[in-house]
């Protein structure tokens, strides 16, 4: 039998309140806070945190705060640009 985290990783229906899933969500929130606090000029630190959040990052990386996700290890395209809102 698969754990809820294994189901999440496989793209299957899972229990959002499972303790392992909750821990992953908490880590994603922490990493988003860290990412949003990095100066926009520090591309190396942004890449480091984005890689921790998503598992990998493409060659061209441009990030505009504020960015939030509800879980980590999701896939992004090779070139992704996030607009800012005011």
Extended strands (E) in the chain: none
Please tell me the distance from the alpha carbon of residue 21 to that of residue 72, in angstroms, as a whole number: 10
Could you report the per-residue pLDDT of 15-74, keeping only the tens digit for each?
989 999 999 888 888 988 898 898 888 888 988 988 888 877 777 766 666 666 655 554
Question: Is 83's pLDDT higher than 50?
Answer: no
| Angle, helices 19-37/43-54, rounded to nearest 10 degrees | 170
Distances (CA, A) of 80 to 22, 62, 67, 75: 27, 7, 12, 11
Residue 4: pLDDT band by 50, 70, 90 thresholds? very high
Q: Is the peptide bond before 66 cis (omega within 30 degrees of 0)?
A: yes
Which pLDDT value is given to residue 85?
A: 45
Which pLDDT value is given to residue 23?
A: 92
pTM of the model: 0.67
């Amino acid at each position: 039998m698969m754990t809820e985290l294994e189901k999440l990783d496989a793209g299957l229906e899972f229990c959002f309140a499972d303790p392992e899933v909750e821990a992953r969500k908490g880590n994603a929130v922490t990493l988003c806070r860290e990412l949003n606090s990095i100066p926009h000029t520090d591309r190396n630190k942004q890449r480091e945190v984005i890689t921790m959040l998503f598992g990998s990052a493409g060659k061209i990386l441009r990030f505009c705060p504020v960015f939030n996700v509800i879980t980590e290890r999701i896939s992004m395209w090779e070139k992704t640009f996030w607009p800012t809102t005011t």
